[in-house]
Structure 1
Amino acid sequence: MDKIRHKLFQQVSGSSPVSVANGSSAHPDTGESDADLLDAYSRAVVRVVETVGPAVVSVVVGKNPRDRRGEQIGAGSGVIVTPDGYIMTNNHVVQGAGRIEVRTADGTALPARLAGADPATDLAVLRADAGDLPSAAFGDSGALSVGQLAIAIGNPLGFDSTVSTGVLSALGRALRSRDGRLIENVIQHTAPLNPGNSGGPLVDSRGRVIGINTAIIPMAQSICFSIPANTAAWVLPQLVADGRVRRGYLGIAGQSRPLERSLVLALGLTGGHAVEVVSVSRESPAGRAGLRPGDLIIAINETDVGCVDDLHRFLATWPIAEPATLTLIRGRQRIRLPIIPIEAVACPAVG
């Protein structure tokens, strides 16, 4: 019977186990036992927690700014990103806060204020009244690989300094922010999150912050999302300097619309969709440029436009007040219009 079992094992696995002194199996290609591999995994997680854990804070949000014992209206997590007290968290954690307090891993309570917020990426920066704090460094979220280790640290459901682990499930996801904009390159992972984890860091095996945990899918198991570190690193200095992220504004309301096949062929278009202009604000850049309801925008500065999100992507990176060119279809004619985006006072739902 033992011979039969051994033969079946070889047929299924394609290799035979190597016996080690403690009775466990070793992998023929490395000589490492399962216990060795698990121990290496544990050491990596412990090392990361020891490195990044002290930089993770609990964020407590109160209603009344003058009453230190006032009613708590929310809680979440955050990560200290500079030793002089700048803390990154989610916008939805601190939105509407009258009073903000952060509690460090050693239990120290520090008053904090909102330095800036960006609802379009669900990110916010707090400033704690302290110095020489432990801080964490951002990694390059553009260099991540599906399957690599992911470690989430936060304060779910009031349980401080909770650690969970998983792997990166997918990269390049898109997630809607609460103001309707599309957040690009969102990280999907399996490190379990719960209410209170929002704003805490997602960390790689080297202790670098690769994302800011932001959302889960209710009733699903281990489908969790993080804003990528590269997005956070882009937003951070703008929030510190100006309290907001500057984005371009055109002054239109629009919707995606499929183009007739005959029109695509007649004009030699590369895409099958355009943004139909539904309305135009008269005193906006679009109004001054001469856009009209019914115009079909197919490109901006030679970048194809098939949906409103394409306009948002362009305006998020294009310099304010720098001239651009819209390519549109009016009737059955292709028209090019110069336009100068201005700074959006608030993040508009369209553009």
Structure 2
Amino acid sequence: MTRPRFDFTISATDGKARTGVIAMQRGDIRTPAFMPVGTAATVKGMKPADVVGAGADIILGNTYHLMLRPGAERVARLGGLHAFSGWSKPILTDSGGYQVMSLADLTKRSEEGVSFKSHLDGTRHLLSPERSIEIQRLLGSNIVMAFDELVPTTSTREVQAAAMERSMRWARRSRAAFDSGEAHAENNAIFGIQQGALNEGFRKSSADALIDIGFDGYAVGGLAVGEGQEAMFGCLDFAPDQLPVDKPRYLMGVGKPDDIVGAVERGIDMFDCVMPTRSGRTGQAFTRTGPINIRNAKFGEDTGPLDPACPCPVCATWSRAYLHHLVRSGEMLGAMLMTEHNIWFYETLMADLRAAIAASALTQFANAFRAQYVRKSEGEQT
């Protein structure tokens, strides 16, 4: 039986929330889905089989980082990102736009694209819609992201409008570039990215332009960049509703567990974030009662698991005291085990959300989760 190129089926709804399956040639993606971030062709600290074991159906790779090292052409010569990394399931690639704006030096934006100086070796590059799509094709991406321009939500109204309008012109060029790679386009998908900061009118104009172009899925971009949860949720109260109901909706770069729960309630289907892996490397573990810093002295003789409610192999095998020792000693196993737990936590949360939606019990689940989960800012971890 031939698997579909891309097919999104919604199996149940609960309010604005949906659960379903994205069927692709490399496998099914259960939604709502969390995509662990494999920026440089690896989910840091984890082997592909362990990422699958945690429950992930798809991971994310990044155009900007991979174009600079080892290079998209080299990855293509080595068989593409799947063969190169040993990951057989679907891969979504970010277009590189966010990293160009946030990491690269001496950027110069024009209608053509973004010229920038590499943060690695100082070489100059031009990332345009066409080049971004070409890189993603060379990588063998299964879900390609359109190239867009991101500006802070604190930018002036004029700057926000101009960036949104340019992003829509780039979206059309991205779609044309994707379609020009016929063999790749026949087997894979492309998502457009809605922009417009926190402005409902700009978001609507962006959504209308993207729908006119036509994409397999739609991302809500430009959030989780410092505006705070209240402002983000305020935007999500209207932004997903402006996008097609029968296509997946992807909130880029989000986020903390309670961010995800609130976004699912508002109709989001897909997420990605570096937080579970980055936090694992710095000694932070996510638990049902909130994040903890395993470095803290009080865990030095704690024989309990990181999270008594967690089904992961780490919680089943090792104590907080042992993990405290590993992390305080700088042992690489500490970062690996903390990361594995965090990925399991996120993927288990997604499975619980899917089950709650299917049972028409999302409100009860979300309220119970929030009542137990204590969100802590950096420096306040207990």
Q: TM-score normalized by structure 2?
A: 0.23
Query: Of the two structures, which has the highest relative contact order with CA contacts closer than 8 Å and spacing of 6 or more?
Result: 2
**Of Structure 1 and Structure 2, which has the larger fraction of its residues in strand?**
1
| TM-score, structure 1 as length reference | 0.24
**Structure whose alpha-carbon radius of gyration is higher:** 1
